[in-house]
Amino acid sequence: MGGAAVNASQESAPSANDRLKDLTSWDADWRGLRVVVTGIGVSGFAAADTLIELGAKVVVVDASTTAKAKAQADTLKIVGAVDVLLGEEAVKLLPLIDGEKPELIVTSPGWRPDQALLAAAKRKHIPVWGDVELAWRVRERAGRKTADWLTITGTNGKTTTVGMTESMLQAAGLKAIAVGNVGTPILDALRDPVEYDAFAVELSSFQLHWSHSLSPVASVCLNVAEDHVDWHGSYASYLADKAKVYENTQKAAIYNADQIETERMVENADVVEGCRAVGFTTNTPGISMLGVVDGLLVDRAFIEERKNSAAELASIADLGPVAPRHMVANALAAAALVRAYRVDPASVKQGLVNYLPGAHRIQLVAKQDDVLWINDSKATNPHAASAALSAFHNVVWIAGGLSKGVNYDDLVKEHAPRLKSVVLIGTDTEALEASLQRHAPDVPVIAQPKGDTESVQTADGNASSPIFGETIMAQAVRAAASVAEPGDTVLMAPAAASMDQFSSYAHRGDAFVQAVRELVEGQAKTTEE
């Protein structure tokens, strides 16, 4: 393939839109299509690898120059004809491909629409797809089974609900896998030798923004709250992208009956004729809903006698020893998705029994001297933190991090009565501190120093990056221990992103778990002595 220039000052004439309309299967003519893939991470690598296999002419661009990025670039060059441009300059202008402008951009979900290269593509009327859109376009392939899609989005609870959905489908004997924003990249699953019956697809607001033609069997938006305003530009734009999950849904558009915004999304969605609106609630369900009656998860939507009765699916006890309200809601949403796919009640129950919650989600780390230590590092926004706080009383709350432009007033007002003390972490705590001063002035706040750093191995393989991580978390855990008393819960639910002090929410959660275990072991050793 010809080299890629870094400047696309030339304008080539006709748009590629007409050709792209015909690219709706793996077997369509992708050969020679000029594509720029932005990002060389997990989704970008999968997109580039797929396009190479399809015969497209591919250029990959990424600002990163880490060892991992260079290794990914070398691998792509080995597997096919592809140019890879790394570094800050590579992502500022559209590259030419064989002397012509690209016909398509396939972007990684984290890239903002106002990023320079993507903004240039918009000005030049070059279509932009995400990896999920590309996956939908190539899902049908001659000689292979086409998997059905069950799609899940929401501000919080996506990963849990996708995992529950996958588990229920598998309990029914179906070949199913969780893909998308969690687990296996969806393009890798499509190319897997296993011919899946169904995908449980987690979709972030970023992925939905770059998706245009998906048509799932069933879809759900679990909930919405202010999040990622910095990426979307406004809360209204964020809601609009979340609402795209319902477009073209075939059988059931599932909404949260306890949150009117999701119901309105369904009302305004352009769905396939005959698609039903199905609600879920943690209260007693109405007709065409799933809900809870006397500790049982029940279905009044997917049974013939729904006017006067309900089908028992499972019990709250099947969710495990700790089942806060938001986990019950997630289970009901997953049940609605698979019931729309004709999974029987027994498999719903078995799927919930089999499901193992992921780490960093209401994770019990230790119980020492009647103090519970809970890791909910996945609570990266106020809505998620609210769900975690609701599950406990007398809370010593470890919180803070990158706020992403959100407001904390409602969160603090709602939960001030249960807060015993707040231990702040993070370098961007001003908004949270201000809300605490306004709405919980009597709650003691312990601020942690923001300047201690130590070098650790980060997710991108760059060992020299300074990360605050373990040192700060150990200090926060010790501060929490100094005020926690029997009957209290120390809850690490930051209500903020992690990347100011950690490489990921998982890194933050692991640091918390390690610090708590070291504290508990130290206390036990002191007691023995």
In order, the DSSP letters of 104-161 are EEEE-TTS-TTSHHHHHHHHTT--EEEHHHHHHHH---TTSPPPEEEEEE-SS-HHHH
Binding residues: 154-160
For the record, the structure tokens of 68 come out as 């991992």
Q: Are residues 438 and 464 in contact, defined by beta-carbon separation less than 8 angstroms?
A: no
Sheet of strand 104-107, all strands in order from the earlier edge strand to the far edge: 82-86, 57-62, 34-38, 104-107, 128-130
How far is 89 from 265, CA to CA, in rounded Å? 40
How far is 470 from 516, CA to CA, in rounded Å? 11
Q: Are residues 484 and 526 in contact, defined by beta-carbon separation less than 8 angstroms?
A: no
Per DSSP, 306 falls in state: T
395: helix, coil or strand? strand
- In one-letter notation, the amino acid at residue 288 is S
How far is 255 from 166, CA to CA, in rounded Å? 19
Q: Which helix (H) or strand (E) holds 456?
A: none
Write the CB contacts of 423 (distance below 8 Å, at least 6 apart in sequence): 396, 397, 398, 399, 446, 448, 476, 479, 480
Residue 300 vs residues 192, 280, 296, 309, 479: alpha-carbon distances, Å: 37, 10, 13, 7, 49
Contacts by 521-525, CB closer than 8 A, 24 or more apart: 523/368, 523/369, 524/368
Residue 72 vs residues 17, 439, 486: alpha-carbon distances, Å: 30, 48, 50
How far is 328 from 441, CA to CA, in rounded Å? 33
Residue 25 vs residues 21, 52, 135, 141, 386: alpha-carbon distances, Å: 11, 15, 9, 6, 43
How far is 403 from 89, CA to CA, in rounded Å? 29
Binding residues for ATP: 154-160
How far is 313 from 12, CA to CA, in rounded Å? 58
Residue 75, Cβ density class (10 Å: 0-12 exposed, 13-18 middle, ≥19 buried): middle
How far is 149 from 157, CA to CA, in rounded Å? 18
How far is 26 from 420, CA to CA, in rounded Å? 57
CA-CA-CA-CA dihedral for 343, 349, 350, 355, to nearest 10: 100
Write the CB contacts of 264 (distance below 8 Å, at least 6 apart in sequence): none
